[in-house]
Amino acid sequence: MTFRPFWQDGWIRPALILPQLIAQLRNPTLRADGEALLFSAKSFAAAMLAYFIALRIGLPRPAWAIVTVYLVSQPTGGASLSRGLYRLMGTLAGALATVTIVPTFANEPVVCSAVLAGWIGLGLFLSLLDRTPRSYAFVLSGYTTSLIGFPAVAAPAAVFDTAIVRVQEIALGILCAVVIHRYVVPRPMTGQFQAKLTATLHDARKLACDVLNNVSESSCRDDRYRMALDLLALRGLATHLPYDPITTRLSRLTLRPLHDRLAHLLLLLADVEERISLIHAPGMPEELAQFLYRVRRWITLDTPNDRGTEAHRLFQNARSLDHADDATLIDGLVANIARHLAELVGFLHDIERLGAEASATESFQGSEKTTGYIFHRDPMMAARAGLGAALGILLGCFFWIWSAWPDGGLAVSVLGVTCALFGNVDAPVPYVRKYMLGSVYGIAISLIYSFTVLPRVFEFWVLIAVLAPALLFGGSLQARPSTAFMALGITLTVPILVGLGPVYGGDFAEAINSSIALLIGVSFGAATMTLFQTVSPDTAINRLLRLGRRDAAYRVRSRVSAKAVWTNLTIDRIALLRPRLSLSARPTTETIDMIVRDLRIGHAVSRLREQFDQLESEPLSAIQVLLLDLAHHFDRGSPSVDELNTQVEELIARIVVGTGAHRHLLDPLIDLRFALSSVQNSEARA
C-alpha cells in the first residue's frame, strides 16, 4: 500500500494556503487587532513595572501609578511622551493649586468647594481655548485638584502630604509608560504622519483633477471640504513629532507653507470651478480653451520634473492671455480665468515640492511669511463649558455637605473628574455613558478580584498573572476608538477599587460604598452636563456661521489683509462644522458653501483695497459705497445680493467704457462678482 501526503488528497494545499495566510496578515482589521494587542501588552508591562517600583520605594497608593500608565499610554512613542509631559505639568499645577486653596479656606467648606470647582472650570476653559494636545495639561490640572482637593475638604491637615505622594505616584507612572512605549517595540509618529500627509496630497491632486474636468457634483464638494478634517488631523499629529523616538525631524519651516498652500487650494478650487463653465461659452477666445487643455494635460504628467518644466511654460502662457492695453469685458474675463488656472498650477506644483521635502525631512527655505494652522477659539463657548462644569460640581458639593455623606468626597471627586475629562465636546453625555458602562464592568471585576482571587495570592508574580486578563482586556479596548471611553472605565476603576497596595486590605463594606459613590458621581455628572454643558449641533453651527459673517464684515471694513490667517481660520471652522452638520438636518455642502463664499468675498474686497492709493475720487467713492453696503449685508442681510451684484456690474461697465486708467480694478471686481454669484447659486440650491 502506497502512502501519500495528506495534502495531495485535497485536504491542504500549501500553494493555496500561503497566499491566503499572507492576505489575512495584511487585512486591515487583523492588523488593527494586532496593534491593539501590542499596545495592551506594553501598557500592562508599564503598569506592572510602575507597581513594582512603587512597592519597592514604599509609596502608600501604588494603584495611582497604574492608573497613570493607562491615562498616559498612547499607540505611538511620541504621543506617549508628549502626553506624559503635559500630564506631569497639569499634575504639578493642580497639586500646587490644591495645597494653596484647601488650607486657605479650611474653615469654610462651602467656599473651599466653590473655589475648587472654579479651578476645575478654569482648567476646562483654558483647554477649550488651546485646542491642541497641550490642552491635556489644563484638563489634568483640574483632574488632579478634584482627586486631591475634595476628599481633603473634610481633613485639610493631610492635603500637603497627599499632594506630594500623588505627584510622586503619577510621575512614576509617567516614567514607566514613556520608557516602555518609547523603547519596547516603538511605534514612531513620523511614519503615521507621513502616511496621512501622502494621502492628503493625493486627495488634493484628485480634487483638482475633478474640478478641471468639470466634475461638480455635490459629492465632489463634500470630498473637498472633508480635506479640512485631514488638515486638522495633520496638525494634531505634527504636535507630537518633536517627541518622536527617531533621529530625524520634520521641519515646521516646511509644514507651515505646505499647510498654507493646501488651505488656500480649497478656496482656489471653488474659484476655478465657477470659471470652468465659462471657458467654452460663446465669445470666449479659443486660446483660453487651449490653455485649459494644457493645464489638464499637465496634471496627468507622470514625473515631477516634467510637471515642473511644463508649469513654467503654463505661467508664461497665462501672462500672454492678459492683454493689459485692452479693457473689454471679455479680455478681463480671459485674464481672470487664466490667472486662476495659473495659480492652481502654481499651488499644486508647490504642494508637490513641499510634500517631497517633508517626506525627506528637509527644511523649506522660503522667504515668504507663513502662518500654518490657525485654530478657531471661541471664549464665550469655552466660558459656558467651564462655568457649567463649575456649577455642576458645586451642586454636587452642596448635596455632599448638606447630607454629611461619608463617601461624598469620593463621589464629588469622580464628578469633578467626569466634568474635566468629558467637558471638551458639545454633547459629552454619550461618552459619559460609555465610561459609566465601563465603570460597571470595572466594579464587577474589582469585586471578583478583591474577594475571590486576591485573598489566595501571596507572590508578586502570581499577582501579575491574575491581573493580566482584566488589564490586558481593558488595554486592548482602549486602543480602539470605538471602545476607548468604555475601556477607561475599566482601567481606571479596577486598580483603585481592588486596592492594589503594599498589603491586601479587602473590606467588602468599603468596596460597596466606594462603588456606589463612583456610580453616583458619574451619574450626577451626566445629569449636570446635560443641563449646563451640552450644546445642540444647530446652536454650535449657527455660532460658527455667525462668527464667520462677523469676520467677513470686519474684513470688508478693515484695510488689514492677513489673507492667509483668515483662510486658515476658515478651514479650521469648516473642520469644526463637518461633524456637527452630520448630526443636524442642515445640508452639509450648502452650509459650508456659505462660509466659503464669505471668505471669497473678503479676499476680493482685500484686493480692491490694495488699489485705493491709485484710485481717483469718483471710482473711489463708488467703491466705498459698495463696501459699506457689503458690510451692511453681512451685518443685517440688507441690501440684497441682487442689489450688490447690480452695483458691481455698474462699476465693471464704467471701467470697461473708460479710458483704461482703472484697468487694474477690473480683475478684483470680477472676483467679487463671481463670489456674489456663488451666493445666489447656494441660495438657489438651498
The amino acid occupying position 56 is R
Q: How far apart are CA 368 and CA 366, in angstroms?
A: 6
Rounded to whole angstroms, what are the CA distances from 91 to 155, 164, 166? 21, 11, 9
- Extents of the domains making up the chain: 27-187+377-532, 190-243+252-359, 544-685
Q: Which of these, 181, 161, 139, lies nearest to 50 by C-alpha position?
A: 181
Task: Look at residue 624 in the predicted model and tell me its pLDDT.
Answer: 82
Task: Look at residue 386 in the predicted model and tell me its pLDDT.
Answer: 94
Neighbours of 393 (CB within 10 A): 31
Three cell numbers at 290?
A: 487651449
Q: How far apart are CA 149 and CA 167, in angstroms?
A: 13
Average pLDDT, the chain: 84
For residue 129, is pLDDT > 60? yes
For residue 154, is pLDDT > 90? no
Three cell numbers at 615?
A: 484710485
Neighbours of 20 (CB within 10 A): 10
For residue 398, is pLDDT > 60? yes
Task: Look at residue 613 in the predicted model and tell me its pLDDT.
Answer: 57
Q: How far is CA 198 from the centre of its chain?
A: 19
Cell 469655552 sits at which residue? 382
User: Where is mean pLDDT largest: 231-245, 524-538, 549-563?
Assistant: 524-538
Of 7-11, 314-318, 638-642, minimum mean pLDDT range? 7-11
Q: How far apart are CA 679 and CA 633, in angstroms?
A: 12
Three cell numbers at 132?
A: 491642541
**Confidence class of residue 23 from pLDDT cuts 50, 70 and 90?**
low
Of 24-28, 147-151, 304-308, 421-425, minimum mean pLDDT range? 24-28
Of 183-192, 370-379, 528-537, minimum mean pLDDT range? 183-192
pLDDT in tens, 336-360: 899 999 999 999 988 888 887 765 5
Average pLDDT of span 568-590: 90
Average pLDDT of span 628-642: 84
Tell me the Cα Rg of the chain. Answer: 31
The amino acid occupying position 553 is A
| Topology adopted by domain 190-243+252-359 | Methane Monooxygenase Hydroxylase; Chain G, domain 1 (1.20.58)
pLDDT in tens, 434-485: 999 999 999 999 999 999 988 888 888 999 999 999 999 999 999 888 899 9
For residue 656, is pLDDT > 80? no
Percent of the chain with pLDDT over 90: 35
Sign of the four-CA dihedral 445, 448, 453, 459: positive
Average pLDDT of span 50-55: 94
Q: How far apart are CA 376 and CA 565, in angstroms?
A: 11
Task: List helix spans (H) across 300-328.
Answer: 304-320
Three cell numbers at 667?
A: 480683475
Task: Look at residue 364 in the predicted model and tell me its pLDDT.
Answer: 39
pLDDT in tens, 209-257: 888 887 766 667 778 888 899 999 988 888 888 887 765 556 666 788 8
Q: How far apart are CA 271 and CA 255, in angstroms?
A: 25
For residue 612, is pLDDT > 70? no
Task: Look at residue 523 in the predicted model and tell me its pLDDT.
Answer: 94
> What is the model's pTM?
0.87
pLDDT in tens, 74-103: 888 888 888 899 999 999 999 999 999 999
Contact 470, 494 (CB under 8 A): yes
For residue 274, is pLDDT > 60? yes
Q: How far apart are CA 69 and CA 500, in angstroms?
A: 14
Q: How far apart are CA 29 and CA 255, in angstroms?
A: 31
For residue 22, is pLDDT > 90? no
